[in-house]
Amino acid sequence: MKEKTIDFDLVADLYDFYVNADLDLEFFLRETEGVDSPILELMAGTGRVSLPLLQRGRKLFCVDYSREMLQRLRNKTAPFGKNLETREADVRDFRFDRTFERILLPFHSLSEITDASDQKQVLKSVRNALSENGIFLLTLQNPNVRLKNADGLTRPMGEFPLPDERKLVLSYWNSYDPNRCIVTGIQFYEIYDSKNILMEKRFLPIRFRPIFQEQIYEYLHELDYEIVSVYGDYSYSPFEEDTSPFMIFKLGK
């Protein structure tokens, strides 16, 4: 397995307390409606998307390289075990021995792969794993919006309640290097008890490679994907290069 670009094992026990976004769940539920065969979810993490899909009767094959994150996914989805298969694997190396009618890469995670050739290899592997009439849902951040906060300044991410009257205070900084096309940074974790006494500090190094519109279209053209639709958010708004928060691709073969 290659080096992890972000070692989520370091914060897997805290992840679900601060990553609870649901802005994309209705989109994925709608786009997987009527799919009876297993759905491939790449970089699935602790199951933020997986659990709602399983609760609505979907069958999933979930892949992630973080053992700790994947174990939490398994724990949360235990009642749906018959509809779930998991695999601890790095999507940069993993080759699929079956095809899928629907493939998901949620939460803009392709950017966590920081080598451009690896990004393209993942997209190639996904295309090979897509059934003839299948759909690949690829989600990306829009760098023209996201990089406005990659300026080296420390910013708060929020305060989040933890069990036993504790709280998590989270902040981060990001910095973009245009020469390497890489964002580096750190997320800072501070855990306080009920009396606001600091109990623990952690930090998580962050590294990701934003994918600009021109680059993703080059990848998709070279790999012979069919671009079915492109949206700027999870409400199916048209993509606007300067203002849309996301680039959401609906892709076929």
Please check whether residue 59 is in contact with residue 37, taking contact to mean a CB–CB distance below 8 angstroms. Answer: yes
Low-confidence spans in the chain with pLDDT less than 70: 1
What pLDDT, on the 0 to 100 scale, is given for residue 95? 85
Q: Choose among 166, 163, 182, 162: nearest CA to 174.
A: 182
What's the CA angle centered on 53, arms 50 and 59, to 5 degrees?
A: 90
How many CB atoms within 10 Å of residue 128? 12
Alpha carbon distance 192, 187 (integer Å)? 16
CB-count exposure of residue 104 (10 Å: 0-12, 13-18, 19+): buried
What pLDDT, on the 0 to 100 scale, is given for residue 3? 78
> Which residues in 40-66 are b (16+ Cβ under 10 Å) and which e?
bbbbbbbbbbbbebbeeebbbbbbbbb
Q: How far apart are the first and last CA of the chain?
A: 28
What pLDDT, on the 0 to 100 scale, is given for residue 1? 58
Q: Where are the beta strands (DSSP E) in the chain?
A: 39-42, 60-64, 84-88, 100-105, 130-141, 155-162, 166-177, 182-192, 198-208, 226-231, 246-252
**Residue type (1 letter), 19:** V
What pLDDT, on the 0 to 100 scale, is given for residue 94? 83
Alpha carbon distance 28, 68 (integer Å)? 24
Query: Tokens for 102?
Result: 């629907």
User: 3-class SS at 180?
Assistant: coil
Query: Tokens for 94?
Result: 């993993």
What pLDDT, on the 0 to 100 scale, is given for residue 4? 83
Q: Kind of pairing, strands 39-42 and 155-162?
A: unpaired
Dump pLDDT digits (tens) for 79-125: 998 999 999 999 999 888 899 999 999 999 999 999 999 999 999 99
